[in-house]
Amino acid sequence: MLQGKRLVITGVLTDDSIAWHAARVAQEQGAEVVLTGFGRGLSLTRRSAKRLPEEADVFELDITDPDHMAALVSDLGAKWGGLDGALHAIAYAPEDALGGSFMETPPESASIAFLTSAFSYKTLAAGLRPLFNEAGGGALVGLDFDNSTAWPSYDWMGVSKSALQSVNRYLARYLGAENIRSNLVASGPLATIAAKSIPGFVQFDGLWEIRAPLGWDTSDAEPVAKMACVLMSDFALATSGEIVHVDGGFHAVAAGITEGL
């Protein structure tokens, strides 16, 4: 499905992450892959890169640092010349922007959540744009969590996910003429390091258990990873601006089978 594709997978930390599994599936489907990590977690990224079917190169990327973005583009240009796809798996909100303190969150913390989790998708797209153009087009995919309703504890990260969804639509609008697609995968909750840092995560786990029509396994990131790879492949050539739910069908129902009794 991805034979010959050149992909950059951002935000890889450990091998339980969606991004790592996306890199694994992509390699299994024939893609060449590089990973990015950041700061103190970079050593973990390098360790995770060794656990892929083929060890991948790792580049450091602080998405909020223009010099890092420029260096990544230069490195990818030197390695491949062009680029076919990228997975945006970057999100962060300060502690005081989560956990039920929505009304008390200072503007600085809300801004950090937005810049890191939503605006960064545009930053990645703008940076990689020349490489996509060299390849004659490409595919951007971002990781989302459905925020059509307000969730307990998710707070300003939820607001940032709403912003991410809007950024996705505008990227589809402005980059479509260059044959660059932009889509999101809205995942159900997964027991990754990032998710476990969200206060009250256990509430999400229990809710999906009783409501998702197809069931949901918080320890299995592969269904989400596979959909991300589909969207980076030529099987999605006419799909852009979309949010694809991979959540066991949770988003489609108002109550679980037993909840309605």
Domain-located, residue 258: no
CA distances to 95, 222, 253 from 231, in Å: 32, 14, 24
Domain-located, residue 253: no
Domain-located, residue 196: yes
Q: How does strand 85-88 pair with strand 138-144?
A: parallel
Cα–Cα distance, 74 to 76 (Å, whole number): 6
Query: What pLDDT was estimated at residue 247?
Result: 95
* pLDDT over 70 at 196, yes or no: no
* pLDDT over 60 at 261, yes or no: no
Domain-located, residue 261: no
Domain-located, residue 37: yes
Report how many domains make up the chain.
Answer: 1
Which domain does 56 fall in, by range? 6-247
Query: Is residue 135 a contact partner of residue 84, using CB atoms and an 8 Å limit?
Result: yes
Domain-located, residue 38: yes
Domain-located, residue 255: no
For 45-52, what is the mean pLDDT?
Answer: 97
Please enumerate, as own/partner, the contacts of 174-179 that have beta carbons within 8 Å and a separation of 24 or more. 175/125, 175/129, 175/140, 176/240, 178/129, 178/132, 178/133, 178/137, 179/136, 179/137, 179/138
Cα–Cα distance, 124 to 87 (Å, whole number): 9
Domain-located, residue 256: no
Which CATH number is 182's domain given? 3.40.50.720
Range name among 83-92, 112-121, 198-207 with the lowest pLDDT average: 198-207
pLDDT digits (tens, 9 = 90+) for 131-154: 999 999 999 999 999 989 998 899
